[in-house]
Amino acid sequence: MNANPNSLIIEIRAGAGGDEATLFAADLYRMYFRFAEKQRWKAKELDTNVIQITGPNAYEYLKREGGVHRVQRIPKTEKSGRIHTSTASVAVLPYIEAKEFKIKPSDLKIDTFRSSGPGGQYVNKTESAIRITHIPTGFVVASQRERSQASNKETAMNLLRSRLFTFIAEKDIQKLGQERNAQIGTADRSEKIRTYNFPQDRITDHRIKKDWHNIEEILNGNLWPIIKKFQKEK
């Protein structure tokens, strides 16, 4: 199986911290989307928390973003000025072409449902949204962004292939007894990899013990200072 080095899928999910974690996950989503736009790469929203990014060596540049990101800041609703700590997890998955990774149709359970938009309003009146369950692993993917059922199914299958490819690759690496930090794509999601400290205007990557300032600029898509440092650390 070969991954496309120029394309990847990023999934971002809120972790501990309630509403503040949800806001932080949205910040990270916007950061990666804007980073792709600044590079003039193609960024496609697959879901509210999933982006597909395509550009020269995009996977190589972004694969180390996978893991648990932590934010420390004073929420706008916090009247006493207390700093809250919240987390969000980032999964970086290589994009896998259909011809590279075959999935047995008999292993899939496919359901359709109506696409819903903000406020519960329907995007359309037909059951164009798709939910696919991979029975052997229990992985569930869904897509409702596209207008047609066929397009949503293709999007969901792309995400499922990427998840399964990464899952199998991680299992193979574990069988070989290699270090967990050698895992492709998702890095180590069980440990925090980076902290965004707003009161000190500092971002710290705990893997390479490096700091950066100008949080707002970085969250606005200026990720190159961090990415370049990782390229040097290889």
225: confidence class by pLDDT, cuts 50, 70, 90: very high
Q: Is the pLDDT of residue 97 over 50?
A: yes
Domain harbouring 220, CATH code: 3.30.70.1660
Q: For residue 151, give the H/E element and its range.
A: helix 149-175
Provide the residue range defining the domain that includes 131.
100-175
Q: How far apart are CA 15 and CA 218, in angstroms?
A: 21
Residues 54, 229, 164: CA angle, nearest 5 degrees: 40
Q: Is the pLDDT of residue 132 over 80?
A: yes
Rg (CA), the chain: 18
Looking at the 3D structure of the chain, how many domains does it have?
Answer: 2
Judging by DSSP bridges, how do beta strands 192-197 and 67-73 pair with one another?
Answer: parallel
Domain harbouring 165, CATH code: 3.30.160.20
The model's pLDDT over 139-174, given as tens digits with 9 standing for 90+, comes to 998 888 888 888 899 889 989 998 898 888 777 656
Q: Which of 156, 175, 194 is the last residue of a domain?
A: 175
The model's pLDDT over 3-31, given as tens digits with 9 standing for 90+, comes to 678 999 999 999 988 889 999 999 999 99
Q: How far apart are CA 97 and CA 156, in angstroms?
A: 13
Q: Is the pLDDT of residue 110 over 90?
A: yes
Q: Are residues 188 and 154 in the same domain?
A: no
Q: Are residues 31 and 68 in the same domain?
A: yes
